[in-house]
Amino acid sequence: MEEGVKLQVNNDSVPEACVDSYEARMKAQKKLVESLKIQWKLLWDERFNDKIRAEDVSLNDYTALSVEKGTVIHANRDFKALTFKEILTQHLVENPDRFVQPDAHGGGWAKFVKTNITNGNSRKKEQSLQSANKKPGVHQPKKGGRGWLHAT
């Protein structure tokens, strides 16, 4: 090691220079994603809906999204739709999944929470097992067990 270079170490034993560069990189990435989101919303708000050809066409150039004026952005047949996740990967954003919502056709937020955040329905399973093990006390039958048709 050189004598002139000194690294300050905090409690986490990570060099302070690395922490600053990581935080700065994450801030720059967030700004990039926010600007891309703004252009993405504008693209979908300012599109032309061609009802005869059943497609949506962009009205302006969006250089950050690599979309030119007149580009088909949505169509019904044989068309690969433009996705925000693909745009983030083109801009080399680290882990683009955290900026994109889960697919609604794959289950959406509810399925995401069930599969990734909670560890199953363990509480419900435990409660159902406990309730199955408990037998209710023997109750006296209503109306002497005669049912609803009874003669007096």
Residues 96 and 107 in one domain: no
Statement: residue 23 has pLDDT above 60: yes
Share of the chain above pLDDT 90, in %: 3
Residues 108 and 56 in one domain: no
Is pTM, for the whole model, over 0.85?
no
pLDDT digits (tens, 9 = 90+) for 115-128: 777 775 566 667 77
Does residue 22 form part of some domain? Answer: yes
Residues 58 and 116 in one domain: no
Distance (Å, rounded) from C-alpha 45 to C-alpha 33?
Answer: 18
Does residue 86 form part of some domain? Answer: yes
- Are residues 43 and 28 in contact, defined by beta-carbon separation less than 8 angstroms? no
Residues 87 and 129 in one domain: no
Of 85, 54, 83, 55, which is closest to residue 71 (Cα–Cα)? 55
Does residue 152 form part of some domain? Answer: no
Residues 91 and 16 in one domain: yes
pLDDT digits (tens, 9 = 90+) for 49-90: 888 888 888 898 988 888 889 888 888 877 787 888 888 888
